[in-house]
Amino acid sequence: MTYTGLALLTIVTVLLVEAMVLKTGLLKKIEFYLAYGIVVFFQLLTNGYLTGREIVLYDSDVILGLRVAFAPFEDLMFGFALVFLTMAVWTKIGMVENNRFEYSNKE
Amino acid sequence: MFGEWSYMAMLGFVLIASWWLEFAFKLRVLRNPKRLLTTLLLVSPWFILWDAYAISLGHWFFDRTQMLGIIGPMNIPLEEYLFFILIPIAAMLTLEGVTKVWPIVKGWFRPSRELVSK
């Protein structure tokens, strides 16, 4: 499968995992969008460095060819999947920890 | 510019740019290793597998003169493994930082109750 295809598939999978398993409600929180905006800014900076200085190179046959700050657009999709899943799992564990804490307080 | 430390320099930047948040905003990310490691174990392996697959098919490849040349399991360079540890940690720190700071920032733009009642 191409990088583009895999990136799309992964984003759909990650969104499904949030909708059906994690249910953190992160996508409804302004805090998520602010945090993600900060992450994307730094991604463009650091990934732009990696691709601009040709530390990491890409096979042009498996990407669309649209580039943002030197890097293939697909990298932004990869980044979204990685960062969103990280934030969702992190949030979920926090919710579980809080529930356990409240439960133990009631006892 | 950094020779074989070029990729490592970027990782060093990520570390410096994100880890200070823990202490400046008194976050509990680095100091909650159980929650931190569980998140990493549930998320990173999938993306490491993707990396291994992409490297094996040549979707992306590396300039070995700008990397240390230490190659781990599945033909993945050390720098990539560190990437899948440091980037998720930076994401957690950013989310926690924003969650802590946002209510304070929001408060600056809201007239205080006392001013309104007078």
Q: Which amino acid would we find at residue B22?
A: E
What is the band of B101 on the pLDDT scale with cuts at 50, 70, 90? Answer: very high
Q: Rounded to a whole number, what is the distance in Å from the CA of A69 to chain B's nearest CA? A: 15
Question: Tens digits of per-residue pLDDT, B13-62?
Answer: 999 999 999 999 999 999 999 999 999 999 999 999 999 999 999 999 99
Neighbouring-strand partners of residue B60: A58
Q: How many beta-carbon pairs below 8 A join chains A and B?
A: 104
Asked whether the beta carbons of residue B98 and residue A34 sit closer than 8 angstroms, the reply is: yes
Residues of B at the A interface (Cβ-Cβ below 8 Å)? Answer: 1, 6-7, 10, 13-14, 17, 35, 38-39, 42-43, 46-47, 50, 53-54, 57-63, 66-67, 84, 87-88, 90-92, 94-95, 97-99, 102
List b or e across B65-74, with b for residues whose CB sees 16 or more CB atoms inside 10 angstroms.
Answer: ebbeeeeeee
Encoding tokens for residue A59? 């096979």
- Interatomic CA distance for residues B10 and B2, integer angstroms: 10
* Percentage with pLDDT > 70 across chain B: 94
pTM of the full predicted structure?
A: 0.92
| ipTM of this complex prediction, to 2 decimal places | 0.92
Q: Does residue A76 contact residue A43 with C-beta atoms inside 8 Å?
A: yes
Chain A's closest residue to B68, CA to CA, is A55
Asked whether the beta carbons of residue B14 and residue A91 sit closer than 8 angstroms, the reply is: no
Question: Tens digits of per-residue pLDDT, A31-75?
Answer: 999 999 999 999 999 999 999 999 999 999 999 989 999 999 999
Instruction: Give the one of A53, A82, A93 whose C-beta lies nearest to B35's C-beta.
Output: A93
